[in-house]
A = this chain, B = another copy of it.
Amino acid sequence: MSGAVQSVIRQPMGMAGQVSTPTRVTDPLAALIGMTITLPRDRELYAQGERAEYCYQVISGCLRTVQLMEDGRRQVAAFLLPGDCLGFDDFDSHDFAAQAVTDVVVKRFRRHDVEAQADRQLALARRLRELGASALRAAHDRLLLLGRKTASERIATFLLEMAARQHQSHMVTLPMSRVDIADHLGMTVETVCRMITHLRREGTIAVVPSGVELHAPGALRQIAADLRH
């Protein structure tokens, strides 16, 4: 049995960005005709450089987007949770690979169709631009993290972000491995472990099988030294 696999974050879709878009009664994306696809853990949804024919919205499970260097160094650009979209803003080919962190269900759309539909439906076109803006904002926050934050700040930031995305303030599910986290935060597995251990010994968090419990979110926030607000 897949232990942690099914304890993946569940949450209604439609909250793609924690952005306060004025209450959208019907998400234009929901109107698109999409095929439901399931993907087993560790399977690749698409490869880096692959022709980008489809785009996707995550229904359940967790995906990661990955960039590789020839010598094996890896950068996980993002983890995608239910409601998140990917592939909508690529060009002809995908900039990075997308892989299933857990068993995953996604809704798949033909990009050509989406583009065509966007030309007819203003709401969708706007939604697509919003989607891009969300992704861009997230990427920019990560630039600051990777460029300027220390190891402990990165971990704290990451845990808080995951908590927020799961709409939880005490329990954070971490479906991805420590290696994935390391490659996401620009550090090594060992450093990730050490930082987590440190937080645990401080009593700030507790490590449980499928994630961590946040005992002192305030302390985390202080460590994260979060910008904006």
Among the listed B132, B133, B144, which residue makes an inter-chain contact with A75, where contact means beta carbons less than 8 Å apart? B144
Q: Given contacts A128-B129, A129-B129, A143-B77, are A136 and B70 in contact (CB under 8 A)?
A: no
Q: For A128, what are the chain B residues with a Cβ–Cβ distance below 8 Å?
A: 129
In the complex, the count of this chain's copies comes to 2
Is A186's CB within 8 Å of the partner chain B? yes
Which residues between 199 and 217 of chain A lie within 8 Å of chain B, taking CB atoms? none
Q: How many residues on A have C-beta within 8 angstroms of the other chain's C-beta atoms?
A: 53
Among the listed B19, B70, B139, B144, which residue makes an inter-chain contact with A69, where contact means beta carbons less than 8 Å apart? B144
Cα of A74 to Cα of B189 in the assembled complex, Å: 26
Cα of A63 to Cα of B124 in the assembled complex, Å: 32
Cα of A132 to Cα of B95 in the assembled complex, Å: 14
User: Which of A85-93, A101-109, A167-175 lies on the face that meets chain B?
Assistant: A85-93
Among the listed B75, B91, B130, B147, which residue makes an inter-chain contact with A185, where contact means beta carbons less than 8 Å apart? B147
Q: Given contacts A133-B132, A142-B143, are A148 and B89 in contact (CB under 8 A)?
A: no
Is A164's CB within 8 Å of the partner chain B? no
A66 to chain B, nearest CB (A): 10
The answer on a CB contact under 8 Å between A225 and B146 is: no
The answer on a CB contact under 8 Å between B142 and A225 is: no
The answer on a CB contact under 8 Å between B139 and A136 is: yes
Q: For A146, what are the chain B residues with a Cβ–Cβ distance below 8 Å?
A: 143, 146-147, 186
Indicate with 1 or 0, residue by residue over A120-152, a CB within 8 angstroms of chain B CB atoms: 001001101110110111011011101111000
Is A25's CB within 8 Å of the partner chain B? no
The answer on a CB contact under 8 Å between A140 and B16 is: no
A34 to chain B, nearest CB (A): 19
> Which residue numbers of A lie inside 8 Å of B, CB to CB?
16-20, 48-49, 67-71, 73-75, 77, 89-93, 95-96, 115, 118-119, 122, 125-126, 128-130, 132-133, 135-137, 139-140, 142-144, 146-149, 183-186, 225, 227-228
The 10 closest A-B pairs by CB, nearest first: A132-B132, A147-B186, A146-B146, A139-B139, A89-B133, A75-B144, A73-B148, A75-B147, A20-B91, A146-B147
- 5 CB contacts below 8 A, A to B, read A17-B49, A69-B225, A75-B144, A89-B129, A90-B137
